[in-house]
Amino acid sequence: MAETSVTRRRIIGRITYLALALLILFVQLIPLDTVPPGLGGTSLLPITQPRALAGTETEVLFDPARWIGPDVLLLLTLAWVVRRPSFVSALAVAAVYLLADMLLQRPPGLWSGLVLILTETLRRRARSLWTLPFMLEWATVAGGVIAISAVYRLVLSLAVVPQPPLGLTLLHLMITLALYPAAVFLSYALFGVSRPAPGEVDALGHRL
């Protein structure tokens, strides 16, 4: 009976993750300037507006209708992988992020591959992370995100691919990392995704 309950919860968790991921991608495709880049709308490109007197364009960091938001899909993925690895399979991560690469016109396979490496690293360390204070978990996740972001930018630089200004990239990264606790809280409050108790894991014998 316990086995059936665990299997059912795992299936529901995987379906929920895929549904949320597809919803986030759908919102990202909505052509509205009022949608933040991390959740949807435009990508991390410099915002330009006509210079008042000179008649030329100038880059601005903020605009009332367009602002830099967090990477909601990444927050969702990492929070769930750390807390319930069985809810987010490697195949699901690869499929979702490869689809995101194509839909958002990123270099196919680069960001999705880096995210897959990070999630699998966190998946292997999940049991040890469950025993650590939240601040150490947060620091571990932040370190991983910073690492793959640096590699991503380096590869694009070597390939001479146009990139957003470093300042905007760093701002986007800081906002994303700062909101990781919020992603963890909402995952628990709305979907019951939390760290399994040690006894729960030992008794069932499953990596939840």
Q: Where are the domains of the chain?
A: 2-204
Q: How confident is the model at residue 153 (pLDDT cuts 50, 70, 90)?
A: very high
Does the structure show a pLDDT above 90 at 67? no
Q: How far apart are CA 75 and CA 53, in angstroms?
A: 42
Q: By C-alpha distance, which of 43, 111, 122 is closest to 88? A: 122
Q: By C-alpha distance, which of 83, 81, 82 is closest to 94? A: 81
Contact 13, 84 (CB under 8 A): yes
Does the structure show a pLDDT above 70 at 52? no
Q: What is the mean pLDDT of residues 84-101?
A: 97
Alpha helical stretches, state H, 72-179: 72-83, 90-103, 110-124, 126-130, 134-158, 166-178
Q: How confident is the model at residue 199 (pLDDT cuts 50, 70, 90)?
A: low
Does the structure show a pLDDT above 70 at 134? yes
Pick the residue with more confidence: 200 or 125?
Answer: 125
DSSP β-bridge partners for residue 63: 66
